[in-house]
Amino acid sequence: MIKKFIIILFINLFISQIVNAELEIKARTAILQDFLSGEILYEKEPDRSIYPASMTKIMTSIIAFDLIKSGDLSLDENFIISEKAWRLSTAGYSSMFVMIGDEVSVKDLLKGIIVASGNDACIALAEGIAGTEEEFAIMMTSKAKELGMNNTNFANSSGINDPDNYSTVKDIMIMSNYLIKKHPKFYEWFSEKEFTWDRTGGDPITQGNRNPLLYKNIGADGIKTGYLAVERYSLASSIERKGRRLIAVGSGFETKNDRSKQSAKLLTYGLTNFDLVEISIKDKAFSSVDVWLGKNDQVKVYTKDDIYKIIKKGQKKKLKAKIIYDGPIEAPITKDQILAKLKIIYDQNLIGEYDLLAINDVKKVNIFSRLMKSLNYLIWGDV
């Protein structure tokens, strides 16, 4: 009665253009990731150690966002500006221009960090959260390890010169992915083009966002620039277009112009050379499998996670999904029971395998119904 069932499904693609291109990015190190699938589309020495400069501020923001999400910090909470924070605003670094003794809200400090890239705001936020910037840097590094940023150490909250403040473009990508995935509403702040600080004892100061891609009509909505003389120019960037998001990180661009053009080139490459395939949305019915001796003849199945795949453009016919199970599956069946395997095949190669689970219970029929079904099977071979 039990047979091996194989159901072959053909997957539709979001995009169907055919573009072929080779890519060379003028940076010491770079990486490009498709956000939904998590797949890497381009990399150039992704594990090479870099000084992340102001890209460090992504993690500074994440620490605050996590605390706000857990209820341990409020956007309306005020922190008092120390002399250490104020001195950075007078030392020629990018600043929010806070003053000693000012009481500044967490929200304003975060906007000063994200939009104006204020080093003084970083120290003020770090001291307000952890007591000292050194303790805050420990929190940052601990979070980095939690995220799998295995080649990163944070020595300060702003990214200013420190040989112990180092990372890689791959780790910055991991951090950026976390920011967008876990804090989507706060991430919207990274697309704001200006921030006005209504400072104490002076006229309001309006500063523009330093991310050059925000001013191009390509759909960029973040993330953070960086510059150190030893590292040159860097940028963590992201673009969203027609429901598809890409994250790019590059470091070692020789000029500001290179940083802008090469980052845009990297993101455009991802959009025009690859197709995003939506295969399954977590917790939603994906397909059905046959049931034996149950009150229902079939049960719907689902995957625990979203499943997306990236393939080169024009290769649509090479992608298939197979549902494999021994069935019909005898009732009773319990919700979340693993019933089948979903195998994703591309060009005759297995590129993914996932469990398919029952979306609901299926009870067994009564003894009389079981006898009738069994008799029907013996006579007609029909389940």
Exactly one of 44, 57, 111, 170 is catalytic; name it. Answer: 57
Contacts of residue 236, Cβ cutoff 8 Å, sequence gap at least 6: 55, 58, 172, 173, 176, 222, 223, 224, 226, 247, 248, 249
The top-level CATH class assigned to 3-14+280-380 is mainly beta
Higher pLDDT pick, 368 / 126 = 126
With 0.75 as the threshold, say if the pTM is over it.
yes
The pLDDT of residue 16: 35
What CATH code would you report for 29-253?
A: 3.40.710.10
Active site residue 117: yes
The pLDDT of residue 17: 35
Q: Is the pLDDT of residue 81 over 50?
A: yes
Exactly one of 37, 54, 260, 280 is catalytic; name it. Answer: 54
Domain borders along the chain are 3-14+280-380, 29-253
Average pLDDT over residues 61-65: 98
Helices (H), the chain: 57-70, 83-89, 106-114, 119-130, 133-146, 169-182, 184-187, 256-273, 367-380
Average pLDDT over residues 144-171: 97
Active site residue 287: no
DSSP three-state, residue 216 = coil
Q: Is the pLDDT of residue 348 over 60?
A: yes
Active site residue 322: no
Exactly one of 61, 117, 167, 280 is catalytic; name it. Answer: 117
Average pLDDT over residues 25-34: 97
- The answer to which of 180-189, 290-299, 372-381 has the lowest mean pLDDT is 372-381
The pLDDT of residue 317: 81
Q: Measured on CA atoms in the order 97, 100, 101, 107, is the torsion positive or negative?
A: positive
